[in-house]
Structure 1
Amino acid sequence: MDIRIREVTTLSDDWYLLKKTTFDYRRRDGTWQTVSRETYDRGHGATILLYNLARRTVILVRQFRFPAWRYGGTHDGFLLEAPAGLLDAATPEERIRAEVEEETGYRVGEVRRVFEAFMSPGSVTERLHFFVAEYGADKRIGQGGGVVEEGEDIEVVELDIDAALAMAAGGAIEDGKTIMLLQYAALHLFSRGDVGAVKTRDALESE
């Protein structure tokens, strides 16, 4: 083993679990080094991009994120995102079907898992499961909006895929998981010849 745990201290066990761990780590040259790291354990999660090939559209949601607002006091806190949620005791497929219905009002059948990723491995233990699924007007059974009791106040936003990619390149979409799913959609869902050229933020600002 290249890791020897020395001490684990619970710093917070309120919403989720924050711990400080001191451990010995064997470096590549064979020497041992003692380091400390804080880890935030909130469980694993799932996210999904709903897309419509015929209409060339995707479904995102807009909601207030306090940490984004708190950061430097320069952000209004509202982010455009792909629907997502924590797994709790459900499978990724079960959770994302329920989550997308709660947030967007769309009931999806088949969901396709495309990859998994650690979103902030320097401090957060969460592994996120990424999905895509097709949607249509006939699949919308409610208004969405999230769960009021959980403080959710979610707006459903339908965007042209080219517009969404341009917003990601220009900085109007800043959520990491959403940018990853939009890039996946551009590469694998929508024909590459049909997806408009995406300008970089510098190119947009120079116009």
Structure 2
Amino acid sequence: MTTHQQDTALLGSQPQPATSRLGVDVPDSRGRTGLDQVGRDLDRNPDVVVRDVEVTSDGWHVLRRTTFDHRRSDGTWETQQRETYDRGNGATILLYDLAAGTVLLTRQLRYPAYVNDHPDGMLVETAAGLLDDDEPEVAIRREAAEELGVEVGDLTHVFDLYMSPGSVTERLHFYVAPFTAATRTGPGGGVVEEGEDIEVLALPFDQALTMIETGEIVDGKTVILLQWARLNVFGV
């Protein structure tokens, strides 16, 4: 470790003054403390030294402002600040019926899309959800049952992607799996107590692809999985 790194590492590790702030030294509504400590121990990249982490919003998810030193490619150091939105990691799944040539998708209100110029905020998507401390396979089986009413059997893990790495920490685990009428054991629709109101859509695969072209499907994870299935499942 260089002298610069040693100095800044010591600075970043110094005890912070008491703030009496929820989520920092007082439990928030989810019982969390120490939210300002995330990232302070990062040392995997010798060109990045974390100086300070501030919690700027401690709602259900957490917004942090991190100050760090970054060694540029020319060897010079500069101090930067970045805000990161931490909502946890998630998983998504595309269910397909190869014999029928259909896929099972959802439609639900996404207010952030609505407020950012989507016509009505009703997005067509693959089923998805946060891991909530579960393993990804456990979480996506739960989400498929809740949102689509399907008891998933064999799963295929496709890849893990950072969907918005400029500001959001979330890593999304992508899956595909077959479904049939026999595996649809419930109505789906989501969890009412969590404010979910989800419509289940069984669509011909060709129609789903066309909906990407027409702008009826604009959700990133859904486009990715449909295109993957085009190459690897349906062979279109």
Normalised to the residue count of structure 2, the TM-score between the two structures is: 0.79
Counterpart-to-counterpart distance in 1, 2:54 and 2:89: 22
Root-mean-square deviation (CA), in Å? 0.8
Match runs of 1:123-162 below 5 Å: 123-162=167-206
Identity %: 58
Counterpart-to-counterpart distance in 2, 1:17 and 1:177: 22
Q: Which segments of 5 or more consecutive residues in structure 2 lack a partner in the other structure?
A: 1-45
Residue 33 (structure 1) shift = 1.3
Q: 2:229 aligns with which of 165, 175, 185?
A: 185
Which has the bigger relative contact order, CA under 8 A and spacing at least 6?
1
Residue 6 (structure 1) shift = 1.6
Segments ≥4 residues shifted beyond 2 Å: none
How many equivalent pairs are there?
191
Q: Does 176-185 or 23-32 show the bigger shift?
A: 23-32
Amino acid of the structure 2 residue aligned with 1:63: Q
Residue 75 (structure 1) shift = 2.4
Cα deviation, 1:115-161, whole Å, max 9, x if unaligned, reads 11000000000000000000000111110000001100000001111
Counterpart-to-counterpart distance in 1, 2:116 and 2:232: 34
Counterpart-to-counterpart distance in 1, 2:164 and 2:121: 19
Residue 5 (structure 1) shift = 1.2
Query: What is the match of residue 28 of structure 1?
Result: 73
Structure number with greater Rg is 2
Amino acid of the structure 2 residue aligned with 1:14: G
Query: What is the match of residue 9 of structure 1?
Result: 54
Q: 1:118 aligns with which of 157, 162, 165?
A: 162
Q: Which segments of 5 or more consecutive residues in structure 1 lack a partner in the other structure?
A: 196-207
Match runs of 1:35-74 below 5 Å: 35-72=80-117, 74=118
